[in-house]
Amino acid sequence: MTTFATKTRLLLTGIAGVLVSSQLAFAQDCTPKHTFATIEEGTLTVAVTTYVPHSYLDDAGNMKGIDGDLAAEFAKRECLKVKAVAVDPAAAIQYVLSGQADIATGDWYRTAERAKVMNLSAPLYTDQMAIYSKDGFATVGDLDGKQVGTVQGYLWVTDLKTMLGSKLKLYPNSVNMQQDLFAGRIDVAVDGYSTGVVAEKSGALKDVKVKVAASDDRVRATKEAAQAAFPYSFNAKELGVALDAQIEAMHADGTIVNVLKSYGLDGTAAETGAPRLVQ
């Protein structure tokens, strides 16, 4: 596995929207479990965002992270090569919708809003809303009166806007947000728990503490952990059938638990429960 320092380096170098790798994911005598079309025959094209530890490219340009490893495992089981395309988080969904990628990686939550425009695979794992601060804040009430940052498009943005108004600053990605948090330009950041706990363990967050946000009726995302999934097009129904079947198999055989643990997370995040959409 790439070291966290290398991952962080990748995180800070930005994202080029270009094709960066093509990985061989199967043996020549492989027999696929399902029949479905992909954008490029025999290849799974993946829009890869940089969101450690879920999604990033290693020094060789290969897809890595929790989502990356699971997408590669899916491709292997279905006898597909992997073609990784590096994209900014703000562009990843559009890559799938426009037919430039089959799926996207990057801890994409299963939300009702997202499900209006595309399909979402069976749940991979759960992730919780977390508060990043030097003071160890752990409740939504702690955000009152503070300059707060979060990433645009996250499922808690609308509720935080209602609650905080002009005190909420939106960022295109977690890198820019964390830079402002370290520099004191914002007091608190709100991001996913999993990426924060890994960074905290490695010392990459310096003196910033990461706490799961306590349940609060004002922010729906605090009341139930979101389920992460692979987004794919409405037009790729057969691909969705294969994704769901292989994800179920990876839950059953322990693959998802092992991948989560390999990135320093608690394997219990694989206990997703029944599929649900965050409203």
Q: 98-120: per-residue pLDDT in tens?
A: 999 999 999 999 999 999 999 99
Contact 107, 269 (CB under 8 A): no
- Strands 108-109, 148-151: pairing is unpaired
* CA atoms of 122 and 120, how far apart (whole Å): 7
pLDDT in tens, 52-101: 899 999 999 999 999 999 999 999 999 999 999 999 988 999 999 999 99
- Strands 81-86, 43-48: pairing is parallel
Q: What is the pTM of this model?
A: 0.80
Per CATH, 4-126+227-270 and 129-222 having the same topology is answered yes
* CA atoms of 177 and 132, how far apart (whole Å): 11
pLDDT value for 12 = 36
Q: Which is nearest to 105 in space by CA: 153, 57, 59, 145?
A: 57
Fold of 129-222: D-Maltodextrin-Binding Protein; domain 2 (3.40.190)
Structure-token pair, residue 108:
């994409």
How open is the CA angle 260-261-263, to the nearest 5 degrees?
A: 75
* CA atoms of 71 and 102, how far apart (whole Å): 11
| Residues of the chain falling short of pLDDT 70 | 1-28
Domain range 4-126+227-270, its CATH number among 2.40.50.140, 2.60.40.10, 3.40.190.10, 3.90.650.10: 3.40.190.10
| DSSP string covering 120-163 | EPSP-EEE-EEEEESS---SGGGGTTS-EEEETT-TTHHHHHHH
- Helices and strands: H and E segment counts in the chain: 9, 16
The full set of domain ranges for the chain reads 4-126+227-270, 129-222
